Amino acid sequence: MKRARFTEEQIIGVLREHEARAKAADLARKHGVSEATLYNWKAKFGGISRP
């Protein structure tokens, strides 16, 4: 099984940046993922909130 590059905490951090009005294209470039990956993460982890 393939090991994930990002932990759930890291993904949630990226999604918080997106919620703070950062553009998806800029975030994707910054973190080295595609825009589609960001939207998949949002679909999967969007409802999770961690302090």
Query: Domain map of the chain by residue range?
Result: 8-44
Model pTM score: 0.82
- Predicted local confidence at residue 15, as pLDDT: 93
- Predicted local confidence at residue 3, as pLDDT: 81
The confidence band for 1, taking pLDDT boundaries of 50, 70 and 90, is confident
Distances (CA, A) of 42 to 1, 20, 48: 23, 14, 10
Residue type at 10 in one-letter notation: Q
Site of tokens 């973190």? 31
Site of tokens 């703070």? 20
- Predicted local confidence at residue 23, as pLDDT: 94
- Predicted local confidence at residue 46, as pLDDT: 82
- Name every residue whose Cβ is closer than 8 Å to that of residue 18 and which is 6 or more positions away in sequence: 24, 27, 38, 42
**What's the pLDDT tens digit per position in 4-40?**
899 999 999 999 999 999 999 999 999 999 999 999 9
